[in-house]
Amino acid sequence: MSSYFTDLARQYIDGEWRPGSGSWDVIDFNPYDDEKLASITVATVDEVDQAYRAAARAQKQWAATNPYTRRAVFERALRLIEDREQEIADLIIAELGGTRVKAGFELHLAKEFLRESIHLALRPEGRLLPSPTDGKENRVYRVPVGVVGVISPFNFPFLLSLKSVAPALALGNGVVLKPHQNTPIAGGTLLAKIFEEAGLPGGLLNVVVTDIAEIGDAFIEHPVPKVISFTGSDKTGRHVATVCAQNFKRAVLELGGNSALVVLDDADIDYAVDAAVFSRFVHQGQVCMAANRVLVDASVADEFTEKFVAKVRTLKVGDPRDPETVIGPVINSAQANAVSGTVRQAIAEGATALVHGSTTDNLVEPSVLTGLPADSALLRQEVFGPVVFLVPFDGEEEAVRIVNDTPYGLSGAVHTGDIERGVAFAKQIDTGMFHVNDGTVHDEPLVPFGGEKQSGIGRLNGETTLEAFTTVKWISVQHGRSGFPF
């Protein structure tokens, strides 16, 4: 594994591995033990420009390449990931503090999305549309947008980089990827290495490890990319959307959430407890779809709370390399301090801590809070860590109101003994995704993934990915002769 951090701690621009020329380094740390994994000199504005220009040059020939030929690259990339799955899992554990279960979950999804990209290369179809003008034929072609800029986050870096990079490439585009500075290898240069070895032509995929402190808005302002695919916080997403709009670019934004898991009075309580614990505490709660709030009908609140708290107390916190560990470190000390501060604020506002976890370095133990005042801002914002708010309610109407009382609308779940009751409940929630009798954390290759309100703009996966990374072009052919008024 150490060779990955040594070999891939560089920029990948125009098919070449090279150091950045910036004046400072991104230091890649293991968030569990603070071990220095790698040091990467940042890319400059000029190197971002070189990356985009390389992608634009390579894209024309790539788009003209037979899609069956393009598809073979992704088949080889999938085999490479399968052959190195354990090494990649170890890298994920080391670089972002993911547990073994989390690393396996991320790699499983990554392979599924790569399989879909293999098929996506053959999906674009043209159309013939009728014309009111005699002798005229309307052809509508679906074509690549050209070059896509991808900005990926730290929480599922390999998966969330791949799910934009692979389909964009499969559809005939060039790509420039900027991974999060906390996960430059798993979210960036590792993908470049895999696609390089899979035979992707040089220049088509470029990875620039850098930061806004060095390049400002150059990555999203650059004239070459026509689409920016961003996954991250709503605050940064708002800025990305603004800059994209000013520069006539399409923005695909997968942003934060404040999802709720709702337990109705006829739910299977034991099953709902399992779903809720996973939905909140998978990857330390650093998941946009995580259940920040667990809403429980007052008639079953005592039973649910007792069983939920008991299960949370069993979650092992510690070294993510240990297969028994459920909760590893959060990504850095700033995040650890922010999560601890949320717990302190909630208690100061009147909440009761049923479980009050302590914080040691980047290890944040779970906290379960109840009794937070209904008007607290904490109930409406995203908490990116192992903290959950239990909220009782009286009847479905009140539950719907509470679930929707947030500026976010990404995911959610409801548990009930009546499936159609659950579907009827889900239809009332202002969210892009909602699940009946399941957890809140799901992603699949064919279903549209994305949120409403401040949780994002646009969708990815399946047909929606096709829409995101291609455009349509109308070419008309007049087989006869048009008449002109002058």
Alpha-carbon distance of 116 to 348, in angstroms, equals: 48
The single residue of 254, 365, 382, 396 carrying the catalytic annotation is 254
Alpha-carbon distance of 415 to 281, in angstroms, equals: 18
Residue 318 corresponds to which tokens in the numbers above?
Answer: 């510690």
Residue 387, φ and ψ in degrees, nearest 5: -130, 135
Q: Judge residue 52's burial from the number of C-beta atoms within 10 Å of its C-beta, 0-12 exposed, 13-18 middle, 19 or more buried.
A: buried
Q: Where are the alpha helices (DSSP H) in 319-454?
A: 333-348, 396-404, 419-426
Alpha-carbon distance of 58 to 15, in angstroms, equals: 10
For 24, 39, 281, 305, 402, the CA distances from 277, given in Å and listed in that order, are 41, 36, 6, 11, 20
Reply yes or no on whether 254 is catalytic.
Answer: yes
Angle between helices 67-83 and 85-96 (to 10 degrees): 70
Give the other-Cβ count within 10 Å of 134's Cβ: 11
Give the CA-trace dihedral at 442, 446, 452, 458, to 10 degrees: 130
Cβ 453 vs Cβ 430: under 8 Å? yes
Alpha-carbon distance of 5 to 3, in angstroms, equals: 5
Find, among 72, 230, 214, the residue nearest to 151 by Cα.
230
Task: Please report where in the chains the tokens 């380094």 appear, as a residue.
Answer: 25
Task: Please report where in the chains the tokens 């390399």 appear, as a residue.
Answer: 321
Secondary structure of residue 46 in the 3-state scheme: helix
Please, which residues bridge with residue 229 across strands?
Answer: 150, 252
Q: Judge residue 235's burial from the number of C-beta atoms within 10 Å of its C-beta, 0-12 exposed, 13-18 middle, 19 or more buried.
A: exposed
Dihedral (CA of 427, 428, 433, 435) sign: negative
Give the CA-trace dihedral at 397, 402, 407, 409, to 10 degrees: -60
Q: Which residues are catalytic?
A: 254
